[in-house]
A = this chain, B = another copy of it.
């Protein structure tokens, strides 16, 4: 928005060369993402907007810079992320993304909403205002994700309605609860209708959905999918009228599988996203810039990849003044040192250089006041060994979650387990460890217990309050004492990540903002993550996957096959709780 009449008047006057501009980036090779061509021109900026792409070199400005003939492209847009996955607040997150050239993100504050509801969303919106990056919000559509667990909040249509008019809110976030959509659940349909009536967008979540189910999604008005994992799925979504967000994050890496679906005719319906990407990987390899690099390396025309990352994303989310370099667009652009390698030399936001050579020029002030509910969100009981006991008859076979390293799905396996004094005990040789999910929002003291294999942990325990989607505490242990100590550490830190061995905290990162996000500066957070990494390796020297990531999805009861919530073991295939004793469940199994 060009703001006031006075600003608009000035912008027009500068465009007509009646007043000097604020800034000119001269002698640039400017991306035209409308026609996929390059133009040699000066980029002229006034009041944060581009007022001319001028090939006559005739404008004057208060400040200028010579691009030396280098490539300049629009600021990149991430179409779908969960900022909380970075463990950073939105304002801190901006300082990580901007140096990589991402000037706009569309975030779904689904994690904090599960902890703190509307208060959590409001915190994200408020904190986002501090960042020079543009942070738009889609309202979480599925909080809690199921009724088979205790989350911190429940969001109905009437809770979300007042937020729809917020200028940073673009619509309804990934509608994960597809059974609710396809069965015509009124609560879900109310959210969809309310969003349509506001003229806003609805994101989908078509993970594994068949053509027929996507049809139901589309009939319901859902417009995007970022869960395609094959080119055929992507082609189907495009044909059915969806935008496809090509995801390249930490856990899910779909870019190489989806690129073959992009043709010159349908390219305008594709964009990029990261969905979930961890801090260390964001810092090291980047975000949407990384997706562009991979696409170019895979053979895509650089301008085509840039169009996906800019204009297409802007159009998908109705951001009519973003995603291109032309008069009237916001002056968000990147100066590149190298096109094919997509090396970002400098990042301009609203015409001001905010980052250079991978670093912010000025760090953003990131301290935003939190409400009590957000800064004191962890309410764990003091555990005893008895609380963690899994009684089982001698010789029992148990329903066990078998993890697949770095994946969010599990296998359900049935195995004999070691029983002592009528209860399960961890057995590291068999790799049968104990898992507990403990309600932490409302002091309900509900504890779900289960047996897990595949982690290969040999000693100690690890715990975190990042446990999708309800974000209760989840703790994995080779012995109960270390598990109890780890949970106590989470309580003391008000959430976070912790590694415990022999009752001692070996490393930790406090996440006192809703038990999800850190308050410490970026460098300190990165160092803490490195310490955690090291500590885990001391108790699991052969670890070759992301243990905390894999752990944090074991509580998500919408992803197959066997998961654990604070209300117990959950069979996602039959969508019901089951017991650990496989014998008593044999009927249910068949």
Bound Cα distance A2, B220 (Å): 8
* Cβ contacts A1-42/B at 8 Å (1 or 0 each): 110110011011111110000000000000010111101000
How distant is the Cα of A32 from the Cα of B49 in the complex, in angstroms? 37
| Given A184-B12, A189-B8, also A218-B320 (CB < 8 A) | no
Do A15 and B51 form a contact, CB below 8 Å, given A5-B186, A36-B265, A269-B34? no
Residue A64 at the chain B interface, CB threshold 8 Å: no
Complex contact B219–A327 (CB within 8 A) = yes
Q: In whole Å, how far is A439's beta carbon from the nearest beta carbon of chain B?
A: 33
Asked if A193 and B238 sit within 8 Å, CB to CB, the answer is: no
Closest chain B CB from A167 CB (angstroms): 10
Are the CB atoms of A16 and B216 closer together than 8 Å?
yes
* A324 to chain B: closest residue by CB: B241
Using known A-B contacts A2-B196, A8-B189, determine if residue A328 contacts B239 with beta carbons closer than 8 Å.
Answer: no
B13 x A241 contact (CB < 8 A) = no
Taking the full assembly, how many copies of this chain does it contain?
A: 2
Would A241 and B34 be within 8 Å (CB), given that A12-B219, A265-B264 are in contact?
A: yes
Interface centre among A213, A324, A326, A328 (most CB of B within 10 A): A328
Query: A546 CB to closest chain B CB, in angstroms?
Result: 36
Which residues of chain B are within 8 angstroms of A241 by Cβ–Cβ distance?
34, 324, 326-329
B318, A12: Cβ atoms under 8 Å?
Answer: no
Complex Cα gap A4–B315 (Å): 27
Q: How far is the CA of A236 from the CA of B140 in the complex (A)?
A: 41
Q: Given the complex of chains A and B, what is the CA–CA distance between A213 and B590 in angstroms? A: 74
Q: Which of A39, A219, A239, A269 has the most CB of B within 10 A?
A: A219
Q: In whole angstroms, how far apart are the Cα atoms of A368 and B212 in the complex?
A: 44
| Closest residue on chain B to residue A323 by CB atoms | B241
CB neighbors of B among A216-261 (8 A)? 216, 218-223, 235, 238-241
Contact bitstring A528-549, B, C-beta under 8 A = 1, else 0: 0000000000000000000000
The distance in angstroms between the C-alpha atoms of A328 and B320, with both chains bound, is 23
Residue in A35, A197, A318 whose Cβ sees the most chain B Cβ within 10 Å: A35
Say yes or no: A218-B184 contact (C-beta < 8 A), given A16-B212, A189-B8: no
Interface centre among A36, A53, A184, A266 (most CB of B within 10 A): A184
Chain B residues within 8 Å of A265, by CB: 35-37, 264
Residues of B near A222 (CB, < 8 A) are: 328
Q: Mark A320-342, 1 if CB is under 8 A from B, else 0.
A: 11001011110000000000000
Of A17, A199, A265, A269, the most chain B CB neighbours within 10 A belong to A265
Q: Which of B186, B196, B318 is within 8 Å of A1, CB to CB?
A: B196
Does A190 lie within 8 Å of B5, measured CB to CB? yes
Q: Which of chain B's residues have a CB closer than 8 A to the CB of A192? A: 8
A268 at the A/B interface (Cβ < 8 Å)?
Answer: yes
B186 touches A240 (CB 8 A): no
Q: Judge if A215 is at the interface, Cβ distance under 8 Å.
A: yes
The winner among A4, A8, A37, A51 for most chain B CB atoms within 10 A is A8
Q: Is A52 interfacial (CB-CB < 8 Å)?
A: yes
Whole-angstrom distance from the CB of A169 to the nearest CB of chain B? 12
Task: Give which listed residue, B9, B32, B52, contacts A239 with CB less than 8 A.
Answer: B32
Please judge, given known A-B contacts A8-B192, A239-B34, whether A49 and B219 are in contact too, CB under 8 Å.
Answer: yes
- Chain B CB count within 10 A is highest, among A2, A12, A53, A184, for A12
Interface membership of A362, Cβ < 8 A = no
CB-CB nearest in chain B for A8: B189
| A216, B186: Cβ atoms closer than 8 Å | no
A182 at the interface (CB under 8 A from B): yes
Q: Does A181 have its Cβ within 8 Å of any Cβ on chain B?
A: yes
Closest B-chain residue to A182, C-beta based?
A: B16
A263 beta carbon closer than 8 Å to chain B: yes
- Contact B35 A328, beta carbon cutoff 8 Å: no
How many angstroms between the C-alpha atoms of A318 and B196 in the bound complex? 12
Q: How far is the CA of A324 from the CA of B397 in the complex (A)?
A: 55
CB contact under 8 A between A218 and B327, given known A16-B212, A197-B1, A239-B35? yes
Q: How far is the CA of A221 from the CA of B5 in the complex (A)?
A: 12
Some 26 contacts from A to B, beta carbons below 8 A apart, are A2-B219, A4-B193, A5-B186, A5-B190, A8-B184, A8-B220, A12-B181, A12-B219, A14-B219, A15-B215, A15-B216, A16-B182, A16-B215, A16-B216, A34-B239, A34-B241, A34-B266, A34-B269, A35-B235, A39-B239, A218-B328, A222-B328, A223-B320, A240-B327, A241-B328, A318-B318
A residues near B, CB below 8 A?
Answer: 1-2, 4-5, 8-9, 11-17, 32, 34-37, 39, 49, 51-53, 181-182, 184, 186, 189-190, 192-193, 196-197, 199, 212-213, 215-216, 218-223, 235, 238-241, 263-266, 268-269, 315, 318, 320-321, 324, 326-329
Enumerate the 9 nearest inter-chain pairs by beta-carbon distance, A residue then B residue, closest first: A241-B326, A218-B328, A9-B184, A218-B327, A15-B219, A35-B266, A36-B265, A215-B327, A15-B216
Q: Contacts A4-B193, A8-B193, A199-B199 given; 6 further ones with Cβ under 8 A?
A: A1-B197, A8-B192, A35-B239, A221-B328, A222-B328, A241-B327
